[in-house]
Structure 1
Amino acid sequence: MMNMRDQFSVRENTDIESLKLLRPEWDALWQRCPNATPFQRPEWLLPWVEVFQPPEIWALEVRRDKQLVGLAPLFINHWAPEPVVSTLGAYTSDYLDWLIEPGSPSRIVQSILDYMHADALAADGLELSNVPRGSHLLRSEFLSRWEFEVTPDEACPVLRLPKTTEDLKTIVQNGQFRNLQKARRRAERVGQVQVEVATHHTLDELLEGLMRLHQARWTQVRMPGVLANDAAQEFHYRAARGLLDRGVLRLYGLRLGGVLIGVMYTLAERNVLYCYLQGFDPDYAEFSPGVQMIGAVVEDGVREAKQAVDFLRGREPYKYAWGAQDEPSFRLRAREDMCCSVP
């Protein structure tokens, strides 16, 4: 089914195979979208679809003169209390958005919304979560015309990096620097301290370590943790390989005397380092492995002239101890009757 809007055409993809065929163009479109995050990459979303198998994929592609200029990776979310249209990657992704080429963003988004309005959805409406502040979906003309209900979603604490490590002291709480230095000295008195980043040869070992240590940490407080089920683990095993191939995945490992005591799952994209997940051995808590790993990430970010370290969802106190400030995200809702009221 295709709907024409001037020179723009919209087509839907309803299965994993059609999404895989889009992969080269999808990647090229991602490269042309300056605000895109790793959570919109095909290396992230294709494994998500393969593992979690949403029953009704509804990915809308927009073309102009045969070139892919927009992609709304949607699905009918039957995991919600009532079926709604949501974005692929829901629940595991910290930012969810559409890929819209900068040249004609308003017309591309409007083409997608018009197509959605014309199509009969087997859902109770539209619900888009974790939409970043810079999304084209938050433009006022779309919000008013579609009667979107916009509410704050989970904030992501972000540390804006200075140009030098010395300047970090003006941003990070003084106590946190002391904690970092004390943790490093304490560990060095026990054995050799080594911080490494996963390669293709060490990826499986560090991923297995992440799963094990993350689970150990949450078992101690009698909670399941986000990696408790097999599907979540399988997703990350699949996504990690593709992300490593693209130079996006940075899986930091912290060893003390040769023993792996901490792993941090980080994504390096453009000018930002995203701290997605971590796990550490509770038996080594006195050496503050979490503080040491974040310290390594922050220092790498400054050396590489990155602009920010994004701690992603969750307002845990340790993030603010590093000087992070909340970056908002938003939830967009439109009931079916709202969508159908568009003139």
Structure 2
Amino acid sequence: MKTIIITSLQQLESYRSNWTEILEENENDNPFIEYGWITTWWRYLSGDNQLFIIGVQHENEMIAFVPFMKKKGLLLERIYFIGYGQANYMDMIVSDKWKETVIRFVLEELLEERGNIIFHLHGLLTSKGTDNLLIQFLSEKGVPFHLSKVVSPFANTNEIEMEKYLKKRLKKDSLARKEKRLKKLGKVTFSTLTADQCDAMFKLHQKRWKNKMDTSGFSKGPTKEFFEELVSLKHEAFQTHIHALFFEGRLIAFDYGLQCRGRHVFYMPAHDDDFGAFSPGKIILKELIRSCVENNISIVDLSIGFEPYKYDWNTHIDYAYRITFSGSNYYAKAAYEFLKLKEIFVSYLKKYRSIVLFKRNTLGRWLNYFRKQDKKKAWSVFHKNVANIRKFLFERTTCYVYKQSIHQKQQESNVNPYKLISAIDLMNDDDSRKDLEKLIRRLYLQNDGFCQERKSFWVDYKVIRLHAGIEEQLPKNSAYVYDCDLYESTMAGAVLARNHQIEHIYITDFNKNKTLLQKGFKLKKAFVITTIAGRKFIKETRYEKGKEQKG
């Protein structure tokens, strides 16, 4: 048995058939170790790494390939699996009967010859067994090592009764209701994207992550070019499938998925935050699982990570291990101890979802402003955050609730100049696009918007909004008018034209409003809302027949 060090793609090409035959024999379902994925990644993203694939030959037959790359430093050589940063899972290209022998043969040789070496091997799925063989070898040799792991939830479609499986999950997150409401607002379609349609996907990903800390680089530079190239690859054992969800022709969610034999990896999902109220990412995941069931794909891999939604859809859990160990050299041991402490610290932080979200969302937004050198925007956000802290510590506001009784004759006597606002109107209006997420959410909550030229107002039929996060249920047959600069009697006509059963109109103001009283409204309640260290205290005052009654 001997090793052959492969240091170029040209050299590797001569072993392509050996590589693919081993994976075919194993019925490999890990797309990240397929020949096409490995070589494409290297062409675009190898950077200053050096190719260091170790081929193992036995009796003139290639029996294994260990897909390493190395980075040389002043005092150390670092060994990684190829694909580090993009490959969720990695492994050795070797049949099960040779795996243990190859691991021992290759690592013994490397550790004996190179004392100044440190290994940082990621993505070893525990279900494949390589991690256990590595641990066993290192333990026997007395080589210190550190393990860290990340969860990898998946759904086994062979164990799914589709209707029963979906019923439970659609009910839990009200997903059926959300999808129904989305379809009520416009045409919803589910399809797959081709290579020439990728621009819309990358634009959506950029929009989703522009104010967040995106460590994937999916839609930028060489990484973007790499993922574009994967879509174009043909005649490979793995394929790229981009499932997409459209609303009125607009892409609102996608999954950049990698499919290899019986496994589909839900690799890079993203959705349009403007439509976040409808959970489009979960809708596309539901459709993806349905598609996998229909096409006999047995594993829907929800990818690595602790995101809560994955636990709503998985049937099983796997783990991807990262193993770090070093040679006997003093500097290698010191580097190992440093990486070990770093891994422990990072793993500890990732246990706390709030820290992860703060880093990704809040810190990412701040850094984005400074990267753009948008000082005005940065200071605006800073002052807004300071104001929010002040309001969190102490704030007192008074919300006055006004009520007007209306009658059917108002609809007949008033011309209704208002048009009902649709989702398409909001998407096409320049001013609305600035607050599209907030406005689309109103439609999800079944609020109605009305507009006339540049004037508009909104109506809620369920609650009165008193303050941020504080609501009061509306009485039956009532409507709450909000986002209204100046109330006009024609607004009541528009509300009645939309809902003939409305008998009462409610409006709120943070000041006493004489104009509303002159237009027939009566002051019904006042709420004094005091915030102290985040806790809200509410004092309600009722008004009956012009007299104040405390309650």
TM-score normalised to structure 2 length: 0.54
Q: RMSD across aligned C-alpha pairs, in angstroms?
A: 2.8
In structure 2, distance between residues paired with 1:223 and 1:334? 30
1:314 corresponds, among 305, 316, 325, to 305
Compare CA radii of gyration and give the structure with the larger one.
Answer: 2
Deviation, 1:34, is 3.6
Distance in 1, Cα, partners of 2:63 & 2:240: 26
Offset, 1:246: 4.3
Instruction: Report the residue type matching 2:284 in the other structure.
Output: M
How far apart, in 1, do the equivalents of 2:66 and 2:279 lie?
Answer: 41
State the distance in 2 between where 1:336 and 1:159 align: 39
Question: What code does the residue aligned with 1:131 have?
Answer: L
* 3-state SS in 2 of match to 1:104: helix
Match of 2:95 among 85, 101, 120: 101
Structure 1 gap segments, 5+ residues each: 1-7
Aligned residue for 2:328, secondary structure, equals helix
* Deviation, structure 1 residue 93: 0.8
Percent identical among aligned pairs is 18
Is the Cα–Cα contact under 8 Å of residues 171 and 322 in structure 1 kept in the other structure?
no
Cα distance in 2 between the residues matched to 1:281 and 1:233: 19
Deviation at residue 325 of structure 1 after TM alignment: 4.7
Moved more, 187-196 or 221-230: 221-230
Distance 1:305 1:228, change over 3 A: closer
* Structure 1 contact 251–264 (Cα < 8 Å) conserved: yes
Distance in 1 (alpha carbons) for counterparts of 2:316 and 2:306: 10
For 2:399, the equivalent position in structure 1 comes to none
User: Which residue matches 2:118?
Assistant: 125
More displaced, 132-141 or 254-263? 132-141
Match of 1:89 in 2: 83
Q: In 2 relative to 1, CA 268–322 (structure 1 residues): closer, same or farther, beyond 3 Å?
A: same
What's the counterpart of residue 165 of structure 1? 162
* Cα distance, 1:115 vs structure 2: 3.1
Give yes or no for contact 1:43–1:243 (8 Å, CA) kept in 2. Answer: no
Counterpart secondary structure, 2:88: coil
Secondary structure at the counterpart of residue 154 of structure 1: strand
Greater relative contact order (Cα 8 A, min sep 6): structure 1 or 2? 1
Per-residue deviation, residues 174-211 of structure 1 (Å, max 9, x unmatched): 413x31x223222222332221123xxx2231x22221
User: Contact 2:253/2:271 (CA < 8 Å) preserved in 1?
Assistant: yes
Equivalent position SS for 1:222: coil
SS of residue paired to 1:321:
helix
DSSP 3-state at the match of 2:305? coil
SS in 1 for 2:256: strand
1:186 aligns with 2:181: yes
Q: Cα–Cα, structure 1 residues 114 and 25, in superposed 2: closer, same or farther, change >3 Å?
A: same
Per mean C-alpha deviation after superposition, the further-off stretch among 38-47 and 221-230 is: 221-230
In the alignment, what sits opposite 2:458? none
Contact 2:253 2:270 survives alignment (8 Å): yes
2:49 paired residue among 47, 55, 67: 55
CA distance in 1, matches of 2:81, 2:161: 38
* 2:147 counterpart residue number: 151
TM-score (norm 1): 0.84
Cα 1:112–1:31 shift into 2, 3 Å: same
In structure 2, give the amino acid aligned to 1:111. F
Provide the C-alpha distance between the structure 2 equivalents of 1:167 and 1:334, rounded to a whole number of angstroms. 46
CA separation of 1:186 and 1:21: change in aligned 2, threshold 3 A:
farther
Aligned to 1:20: 13
Aligned mates of 2:235, 2:281 — CA distance in 1:
22
Query: In 1, Cα distance between the equivalents of 2:235 and 2:278?
Result: 28
